[in-house]
Amino acid sequence: MSDPDPQQSMEALASPRVRAQLDEDLSPRRLALRRIAAANRLLIEDMVGTQVDPGDLDAVADELEALGERFRHDRPRSTYEGMAEAAMAGGAIEAFFDHSPLIGLANPLAPPIRIEMGEELVTGRVTFGAVYEGPPGCVHGGFVAAAFDEVLGTAQTYSGAPGMTARLKVDYRSPTPLHVPLVIEGRFTRREGRKIFTEGRILDGDTVTAEAEGLFVTIDPTKFRELAEGFDRRIAGDQADDA
Ligand SMILES: CCCCC/C=C\C/C=C\C/C=C\C/C=C\CCCC(=O)SCCNC(=O)CCNC(=O)[C@H](O)C(C)(C)COP(=O)(O)OP(=O)(O)OC[C@H]1O[C@@H](n2cnc3c(N)ncnc32)[C@H](O)[C@@H]1OP(=O)(O)O
């Protein structure tokens, strides 16, 4: 199978249309992966601060270890694997978003943030649970920054030439609460050559809990492929070392 056009892959990643199709025509495999992730996410959330008797915890660990065996693979993997083939097979690149650590419905680590792309404004909606706790009852600052990276990363696609995060500045204005629906706004503000400027804020009702400015730098679409190839080489190297 021939390689996908990197430019096309990049455009698909930045496409509101692709985003809008995220939940349409889900294959049974994607549906099942989302379901597993949802169960897993709930398990992790419920496990934090559990009151289960210590004597029972070992039994739970046994069960989880046995279950884990079913998913074990022989080497580290990248969620981008298979994306090229999917793209060639007719635009199934949407599956890429399912694996995101911030928005991915098939990734139990994702809170997940739900993204809406408006005319000029990107809106992320999220409720962070106990697993994201930093200060008591509040979201860990690193996850606040990660949420901005995702939402501003989406807003930068309005530049028409998206790239990678070069700099992210976060002002933490007031503690960001757990267990509360939050709104994360992101805007593309201007472009200077390859530099793309964005800004955003997190709202708990009317309260701004954090503000951010993100600088993204347009990358040559082939860089995407180079990153994937670099990963493949590292893995191949590790396997040779293990042999
Ligand atoms: C999840 C997808 C990730 C891939 C994204 C790719 C495409 C996006 C497409 C669709 C996106 C859809 C959804 C996205 C959702 C989330 C996005 C998350 C994105 C990330 O989470 S991504 C991970 C963290 N990210 C990195 O891992 C980057 C590591 N880094 C590098 O790979 C290089 O550093 C790079 C490429 C950034 C630049 O390198 P380079 O060699 O191409 O360019 P160069 O250095 O010449 O800079 C050119 C001009 O930017 C100025 N400049 C550069 N850096 C600056 C800084 N820090 N502060 C102030 N100005 C800076 C220079 O001063 C110069 O300015 P001037 O032209 O005025 O002199």
- 125 pLDDT more than 90: yes
Would the CB of 150 count as within 6 Å of ligand 1? Answer: yes
Q: Which has the higher per-residue pLDDT, 242 or 11?
A: 11
d(CA 95, CA 12) in angstroms, rounded, equals 11
- The conformational region for residue 179 under phi > 0 = left, psi -120 to 50 = alpha, else beta, is left
pLDDT in tens, 57-84: 999 899 999 999 988 887 777 777 655 5
pLDDT in tens, 131-151: 999 999 999 999 999 999 999
195-204 and 182-192 as β-strands: parallel, antiparallel, unpaired?
antiparallel
d(CA 68, CA 173) in angstroms, rounded, equals 41
Would the CB of 14 count as within 6 Å of ligand 1? Answer: yes
CA distances from 4 to 11, 47, 50 (A): 12, 42, 47
Nearest CA to ligand 1 atom 37: 166
* Whole-number pLDDT of residue 112: 97
Would the CB of 10 count as within 6 Å of ligand 1? Answer: yes
* Whole-number pLDDT of residue 216: 98
d(CA 181, CA 69) in angstroms, rounded, equals 35
Contacts 24+ apart (CB under 8 A), 20-23: 20/117, 21/94, 22/94, 22/97, 22/98
Q: Given pLDDT bands bounded at 50, 70 and 90, which one contains residue 89?
A: very low
d(CA 179, CA 97) in angstroms, rounded, equals 24
* Whole-number pLDDT of residue 94: 66
Give the pTM. Answer: 0.91
Q: Which has the higher per-residue pLDDT, 192 or 4?
A: 192
Burial of 203 (0-12, 13-18, 19+ CB in 10 A): middle
For 24-33, 124-133, 141-150, which range has the lowest pLDDT when averaged over its residues? 24-33
Would the CB of 173 count as within 6 Å of ligand 1? Answer: no
Cα atoms in the Cβ-side hemisphere of radius 13 Å centred on 167: 6
ipTM, two decimals, is 0.96
Would the CB of 13 count as within 6 Å of ligand 1? Answer: yes
Q: Given pLDDT bands bounded at 50, 70 and 90, which one contains residue 1?
A: very low
Angle between helices 221-242 and 6-13 (to 10 degrees): 100
Nearest CA to ligand 1 atom 4: 164
